Structure 1
Amino acid sequence: MKLSILDQSPISSNQTAKEALNESMELAKLGESLGYTRYWITEHHDLTGLASSAPEVMLAYIGTNTNTIRIGSGAVLLPHYKPFKVAEVYNTLATLFPSRVDVGLGRAPGGSAEATNALSDNFLQNVYKMPSLVKEFLHFLDNDFPTDHAFSKISASPVPEVSPVPWLLGTSKKSALLAAENGLAYAFGHFMSEEDGTAIIQRYLDAYIPRKQGQKPEVIVTVSVICSETTEKAHEVAKSTLIWALQRGRGEGERGVPSIIEAQQYSLNDQEEATLENMKKKLIIGNPTEVKEKLIELQTNYRADEIMLNTITYSTKDRFNSYRLIAAELLKNS
């Protein structure tokens, strides 16, 4: 099984943002040493407890401190930006780190309405234009605009020997079809979707049209996972993540991911208890054997080429340990 890492650069209540970003770099190094295929970092804006607002900056830092693991965005929120600039940024990264760069594209705002307005003037209009933005970006990436196009005489410099690999990220049939129609690899966010993911992936596979000769559809499924030596310990560690999600729903959680003790002492009403139990259904929590079985089942059901793991814990030790335990079960060279 191919495994990868999706990192949101979470800030724990005992951390600074700088410490969280350095933890992200160390996580990428750990993933490389354990045999994970790729490390992607997310883009979020003005969201309490997440330090990943500028993935392109972090990817330059992480690329310099790693050697083989693929690095990329999960995702560039394209409606905020001009495709030409995004192509320039990721072509630069691909020039610096040959044959290692992915560029994941998404359409979400990545933050509040106020943050969205601060980033771009026409976000909603650009969301509707997402299909044309994707096509324009791909033309810049491939340097193949028709000769009569207004952009045919410019290139997204520097042009690397090996272009970044484009992916489309999403949680819906609309995103799956957009990926399929443009011959893009597709990353489905199981951890943040209420949809029937297997039907969405099947729609993608059925509609896929190769962008280049020999290309085949490729699927990543991203899931939230917390693994510990015992089931009891895994659920104890996961409580911090779950409580933090509830806090943010209340407009709280400014201090970041709470400690296990803080999470255990957090007062919940009946409705929140029910919400907590429902949230657990989207997480894979357990000991190494349990997590291995669930990941294999997930891969089989989704017909996924790769599983990408998102793990948020209060403790760096618990977070890194989760990735180590899963690698020991499922990656040959760990």
Structure 2
Amino acid sequence: MKLSILDQSPIRIGQEPQHALVESVELAKAADRLGYTRYWMSEHHDLKGLASSAPEVMLSYIGAQTKRIRLGSGAVLLPYYKPYKVAEVYNTLSTMLPGRIDVGLGRAPGGGTDVMTTLSDNFLQQAFNMPALVEELLHFLQYKERVDTTTLKAAPLPLVPPVPWILGTSKKSALLAAKYGMPYAFGQFMSAKDPGEVLHEYRMNFQPHQAQHHPKALLTVSVICAETDEKAKELALSAIAWNIQSERGENKAGLLPIREAKEYIDKLKDSQVKAEIEKKILIGSPRTIKHKLKSMQDAYQVDEFMIVTFIPSLEERLQSYTLLANEIINKKTS
């Protein structure tokens, strides 16, 4: 079982965005040491509590301070951008960091209506044209031959091209990945849909590609890990409060500390909301989390999980990832 990390650069209450980004660098360096397969950074715009608006900038900085871990976007919100420029950026990263760059692609707006209209004059139309945008980008990433006769290149051309992924939570995104023979990442942490049905569609419709002969999929899951199940449940309160606030549009300043998160949750009159959120998060000790991931691995036939961990304390967030790595990645068997 492979483990990877999706980082959204969460900002704690009272914390400056700079500190959140510095903590992202520390997380990536730790992931590199611990044996995680990938570190991806998400792209969000004007969302209170998240500092990850320009992952491509951070990836170059992180790449200079890590040695082997794959780095990528989770995801480039392609309807906002020209595929040619995206290819130039990630080809440059791959030229500097050969064999280490992924390009995760998504069609979500990553922010509110104001973001959509400010970043793009025609976001909805471009989102509708997502398949054409993907096909054009694949050409410039040297992943797919183009049918026309253009000789335009997205220089610099790396010796090892970046690997494009489709990220999504629907059959539509899965079928798009399958059509072009691309790896697929299902965002279970942000979806109530059954991954099994979506991944089945992906595998059944996958068209082999010279760079990807077989379907390859991972699941992105929310995880809170601590030494004991009880401690993990306590640490999870901030993530639970964050999710509830997000659904209600109440995220104003960032991640709540544990005590304040507990007070916020205790004041909720509808306990069912908390229960529904808890279902989306894997909470427990290393052994508990390993058992849960193994069950999901058997059910969905994936060999890689991308972990999202929302804990206000950097020390405890790093410990969560360390405990998982020691239990799953680096544990020696007799």
TM-score w.r.t. length of structure 2 = 0.96
Are 2:268 and 1:269 aligned? yes
Determine the C-alpha separation between the residues in 2 that align with 1:298 and 1:78: 30
171, 177, 192: which is aligned to 1:179? 177
Do the aligned partners of 2:181 and 2:212 also contact (CA within 8 Å) in 1? no
Do the aligned partners of 2:244 and 2:277 also contact (CA within 8 Å) in 1? no
Give the drift of 1:99.
Answer: 0.6
The aligned residue for residue 76 of structure 1 is: 76
Do the aligned partners of 2:184 and 2:216 also contact (CA within 8 Å) in 1? yes
Do the aligned partners of 2:243 and 2:277 also contact (CA within 8 Å) in 1? no
Give the drift of 1:214.
Answer: 6.1
242, 253, 256: which is aligned to 2:254? 256
User: Within 5 Å, which residues of 2 pair with 1:252-331?
Assistant: 252-266=250-264, 267-271=266-270, 273-331=271-329
Do the aligned partners of 2:8 and 2:42 also contact (CA within 8 Å) in 1? yes
The aligned residue for residue 231 of structure 2 is: 233
C-alpha spacing 1:317/1:157, structure 2 compared with 1 (3 Å) = same
Are 2:67 and 1:67 aligned? yes
C-alpha spacing 1:144/1:295, structure 2 compared with 1 (3 Å) = closer
C-alpha spacing 1:213/1:233, structure 2 compared with 1 (3 Å) = closer
Determine the C-alpha separation between the residues in 2 that align with 1:126 and 1:212: 28
Are 2:242 and 1:244 aligned? yes
Give the drift of 1:193.
Answer: 1.1
The aligned residue for residue 57 of structure 1 is: 57
Do the aligned partners of 2:182 and 2:212 also contact (CA within 8 Å) in 1? no
Runs of 4+ in 1 over 6 A off after TM superposition: none
Determine the C-alpha separation between the residues in 1 that align with 2:303 and 2:202: 13
C-alpha spacing 1:202/1:253, structure 2 compared with 1 (3 Å) = same
Q: Deviations over 1:118-161 (max 9, x none)?
A: 10111100111001111110011117654744xx1210011000
152, 155, 159: which is aligned to 1:154? 152
TM-score w.r.t. length of structure 1 = 0.96
Give the drift of 1:215.
Answer: 1.7
The aligned residue for residue 32 of structure 1 is: 32
C-alpha spacing 1:68/1:98, structure 2 compared with 1 (3 Å) = same
What's the secondary structure of 2:72's corresponding residue? Answer: strand
After superposing the two structures, state which structure 1 stretch, 260-269 or 227-236, moved more: 260-269
Do the aligned partners of 2:185 and 2:218 also contact (CA within 8 Å) in 1? yes
Q: Deviations over 1:27-57 (max 9, x none)?
A: 0000011100010000000000000000100
Q: Deviations over 1:62-107 (max 9, x none)?
A: 1011010000000000011010010000000001111100000001
Determine the C-alpha separation between the residues in 1 that align with 2:129 and 2:276: 35
What's the secondary structure of 1:270's corresponding residue? Answer: coil
Give the drift of 1:252.
Answer: 2.8
Count matched residues: 331
The aligned residue for residue 206 of structure 1 is: 204
- Stretches of structure 2 that go unaligned for 5 or more consecutive residues are none
Task: Give, as a single letter, the amino acid of the residue that structure 2 aligns with 1:270.
Answer: K
Give the drift of 1:213.
Answer: 6.2
Q: Deviations over 1:229-256 (max 9, x none)?
A: 1111111110011112222334333221
C-alpha spacing 1:327/1:145, structure 2 compared with 1 (3 Å) = closer
Task: Give, as a single letter, the amino acid of the residue that structure 1 aligns with 2:64.
Answer: T
What's the secondary structure of 1:265's corresponding residue? Answer: helix
Give the drift of 1:294.
Answer: 0.3
What's the secondary structure of 2:6's corresponding residue? Answer: strand
What's the secondary structure of 1:225's corresponding residue? Answer: strand
Do the aligned partners of 1:35 and 1:333 also contact (CA within 8 Å) in 2? no
What percent identity do the matched residue pairs reach? 53
Determine the C-alpha separation between the residues in 2 that align with 1:94 and 1:80: 22
After superposing the two structures, state which structure 1 stretch, 140-149 or 232-241, moved more: 140-149
What's the secondary structure of 1:142's corresponding residue? Answer: coil
The aligned residue for residue 167 of structure 1 is: 165
